[in-house]
Amino acid sequence: MKFTGLLPNHILEKMNPSDRPKGKAGMIAAECGEAYALKSERDLQNLIANELLRRGIWFTRSAMNKRTTNTVGTPDFLFCVHGLFCAVEVKHAAGKLRMEQSLALSEIRVNGGRAVVVRGFEEFVQFLKEAEG
């Protein structure tokens, strides 16, 4: 007889991931949080992309679902506003910058560009207003 209910987190943690049930039922709490964070970060990136398109601002965006072909640490969005180079790294509320991301943002600032980490859409809109002058 096959068990079809939900297993508690403390049991799932001890199981080999390949032996766990498929889908959400086989995910431990930390994995569920990671999946939610990735989805919310993707949703925020989509909102930002739509806002840039709406304003007619050309941008390039790093794909989230593939290994990067850019330099490691390249921010999620790169664009120019009135001759000002802008870089935006998108993170969910608890997301942390990797060392390469932090270095890239610092180098952009040192060279006269604007580089920020945004954790919400309103924060991005505020950055865009300041960049537009």
Residue ranges per structural domain of the chain = 20-132
Overall average pLDDT of the 104-119 stretch: 97
Grade residue 92 by pLDDT with cuts at 50, 70 and 90: confident
CATH number of this structure's domain 20-132 = 3.40.1350.10
Overall average pLDDT of the 15-44 stretch: 70
Q: Is the pTM higher than 0.85?
A: no
Overall average pLDDT of the 44-58 stretch: 94
Grade residue 30 by pLDDT with cuts at 50, 70 and 90: low
pLDDT for 1: 46
pLDDT for 11: 74
Contacts made by residues 85-88, CB under 8 angstroms, sequence distance 24+: 85/112, 85/113, 85/114, 86/113, 86/114, 86/115, 86/127, 86/131, 87/113, 87/114, 87/115, 87/116, 88/48, 88/115, 88/116, 88/117, 88/118, 88/124, 88/127
Residues 52 and 36: their CA atoms lie apart, in Å, by 24
Query: Which helix or strand (DSSP H or E) is residue 51 part of?
Result: helix 29-54
- Percent of the chain at pLDDT above 90? 55
Q: How many CA atoms lie within 13 A of 130 on its CB side?
A: 11
